[in-house]
Amino acid sequence: MSTAPALELTGLERHFAGAGGTVRAADGVTLTVGRGEVVGLVGESGSGKSTVGRCAVRLDEPTGGTVRINGTDVTTMSRRALRPLRKDFHLVFQDPSSSLDPRMTVGEIVAEPLKLHGIAKGEAARARVAELLGQVGLRPEHADRHPHELSGGQRQRISIARALSVDPALLVADEPTSALDVSVQASVLNLLADLQRDRGFGCLFITHDLAAVEYLADRIAVMYLGQIVEQAPTSELFADPKHPYTQALLSAAPVPDPVTQRTRERIVLSGELPSPLAPPPGCRFHTRCPLAVDRCRTEVPALRTLDGGREVSCHLVADDGTAPDAAAAPSRTIPTTRTATR
């Protein structure tokens, strides 16, 4: 078995050219997902998270950089050459209603990858489908139903069963719970956690739900305007965020303790997320950062590895990890009764 990471993105770029200019949805993203590791990718809507996920499984064609899966460079592979490798990586979409063929039964949906890759057919495929349905918490009789006959949570379980039917080394989960009712989100997250632990696949977990990523991920990468600004183990990131944007992002997440929630301050970012058509010069976050200095407005910060091993892209963070506190800017903090950025 290969010891290469499940996924390696190096300098990944995805630009979309249009009449109004070029949208830099992903601009130099470097990210690794190890075997058996869950890496969370978080950031505001429009930061480029889903674009990175789609490029990782070659549903979008990268403009630049490289994509390696299990050590194989798939960046420029033709569809024909890529076809036999597709069993090694799968994507779970955000909305199961739009990603499942309404004309097919559940059994046909789950069995399709098995047949396409020549793994099983006939009675062997039906037995494998029944096994997979049981693993995602559904009954064998669900195989005869169509997607519209199932709840949203059940449909997402079908999507997960289909994705895992060929035992991929990499699963990209793009906001897998955001289209579900709050009451079923936890059950789907628990299912993903159990399956990942039992099967040992690498997982790129894309989400805006900080509670979900804290629960599921081993490591977190934070994106802002097409670039990664911080990477760290989950516990370290939540305990001590270094980048001012990460500090603001975490301060906006509610905490379960009502006393703490009422008394803590949130960091408020001024203005809106800049357009990826015309990203700001220097640090892309400087137009909203409460701590920005002149250097931030002109010089692009590199994604540096700090002494403790975590990575951050900020001029104000020292190599030993000493970081400024964005909450120290009183004009940019508010009580928690108002809404901060997500």
Q: Which helix (H) or strand (E) holds 89?
A: strand 89-92
Round to whole Å and give the CA distance between 249 and 194: 28
- More reliable by pLDDT, 1 or 272: 272
What lies within 8 Å, CB to CB, of 125 at 6+ separation is: 111, 114, 115
Tell me if 188 sits within 8 A of 175, measured CB to CB: no
Render pLDDT for 184-207 as a digit per residue (tens, 0 to 9): 889 999 999 999 999 999 999 999
Mean pLDDT value across the chain: 90
Q: What is the mean pLDDT of residues 284-306?
A: 94
Q: What is the mean pLDDT of residues 262-283?
A: 82
- pLDDT range class, residue 154, cuts 50, 70, 90: very high
What lies within 8 Å, CB to CB, of 122 at 6+ separation is: none
Residue that is written with structure tokens 């590199």 in the block: 302
Q: What angle do CA 55, 59, 63 make, to 5 degrees?
A: 45
Q: What is the mean pLDDT of residues 255-266?
A: 66
- More reliable by pLDDT, 332 or 93: 93
pLDDT at 271 over 90: no
Tell me, what's the pLDDT at 198?
93
Q: What is the mean pLDDT of residues 7-28?
A: 94
Burial group, residue 253, by CB count within 10 angstroms (0-12, 13-18, 19+): middle
> In DSSP terms, which residues pair with 200 in a beta bridge?
none
Q: Is 254 helix (H, G, I), strand (E, B) or coil?
A: coil
Percent of the chain scoring above 90 in pLDDT: 73
- pLDDT range class, residue 330, cuts 50, 70, 90: low
Lowest mean pLDDT among 159-168, 180-189, 193-202, 224-233: 180-189
- More reliable by pLDDT, 232 or 342: 232
Q: Of 293, 292, 312, which Cα lies nearest the Cα of 304?
A: 312
pLDDT at 172 over 50: yes
Tell me, what's the pLDDT at 325?
84
Lowest mean pLDDT among 65-79, 201-215, 322-336: 322-336
Sheet of strand 21-33, all strands in order from the earlier edge strand to the far edge: 21-33, 7-18, 64-69, 72-73
Whole-angstrom CA distances from 265 to 260, 330, 340 are: 9, 10, 10
Q: Please give the DSSP secondary-structure letter assigned to residue 44.
A: -
- More reliable by pLDDT, 91 or 179: 91
How many Å separate Cα 264 from the centre of its chain? 28
Each domain of the chain, given as residue ranges in start order, spans 7-98+167-224, 241-335
Burial group, residue 221, by CB count within 10 angstroms (0-12, 13-18, 19+): buried
Q: Of 131, 187, 181, which Cα lies nearest the Cα of 157?
A: 187
Neighbouring C-beta atoms of residue 53, cutoff 10 Å? 24
Q: What is the mean pLDDT of residues 308-319?
A: 93
Tell me, what's the pLDDT at 99?
87
Round to whole Å and give the CA distance between 208 and 88: 26
Tell me, what's the pLDDT at 137?
92
**Tokens, residue 253:** 């997440």
Tell me, what's the pLDDT at 82?
93
Q: Which helix (H) or strand (E) holds 114?
A: helix 106-116
CATH fit for domain 7-98+167-224, picks 3.40.50.300, 3.40.605.10, 3.30.70.260, 1.20.140.10:
3.40.50.300
- pLDDT range class, residue 260, cuts 50, 70, 90: low
